[in-house]
Amino acid sequence: MNLWKQNLGTVPEAVWEETAAAELILADNGITEISARIGAMQGLRMLDLGHNLLSELPEELGQLEHLSGFLYLHDNRLERLPAGLDRLKKLRYLNIGENRFTSFPEVVCKMQGLVELRAADNKIESLPEGIGALTGLRELHLRNNRLHGLPAAIGQLQELRQLDLRGNPIEALPEELLKMPRLEKLDLRWVTGFAAPAWLGKLEARGCLVYW
């Protein structure tokens, strides 16, 4: 069901009755609220709520346990995610960029099926050690936040290929990055106050592209 850019303002009640729908696109509609009725849409595999005016999400969003393609939440006014999202174990792609997060939503660390995570353009100051549980993650995009460093647990992301830290005030990086055998790209452009550690050369020597 594609309702992209329809100037809806609010979601028509009839949408929540489409419980067998596999895809729901509500992006760019000026929506301020999502009904708890969304929890009945058990057929959803893909959900796009991006480019709206959402400041809260219903706990019932966590009932969509078959979400496996993507969940777009970017460009809203979110400061937190409901705890019930820890049930989204099959989700592969999550975008929470361009919101108002000051701390990384720890519930995301429970979404262990994630392959790509985008959290750019927030005000996140640190990552939790729980980030290491996302062992299937291949891309982690954290551009334009307020990160001063990364937890040692980042080294547990054995499948990670891309790590985007552009525009953060990074002061130091953990040597555990060397434990990530598949890391292909480390982006440190527009990072202020960062002195490159000697071990960073080992990453480059094995083929990882490090951008400054």
Please, what are the domains in the chain? 13-211 (3.80.10.10)
Q: What is the pLDDT of residue 154?
A: 97
Length of the chain: 212
Taking the chain (212 residues) in runs of 10, the rounded mean pLDDT of each run is: 95 96 98 98 97 98 97 98 97 98 98 98 98 98 97 97 97 95 97 88 95 89
Q: What is the pLDDT of residue 113?
A: 98
Q: With contact defined as beta carbons under 8 Å apart, do 212 and 189 qualify?
A: yes
| Of 143, 81, 68, the residue nearest 108 (C-alpha) | 81
> Within a 10 A sphere around the Cβ of 53, how many other Cβ atoms?
13
The sheet that has 46-48: what strands, in order across it?
23-25, 46-48, 70-72, 93-95, 116-118, 139-141, 162-164, 185-187, 209-211
- Token pair for 115: 């392959």
Q: What is the pLDDT of residue 192?
A: 80
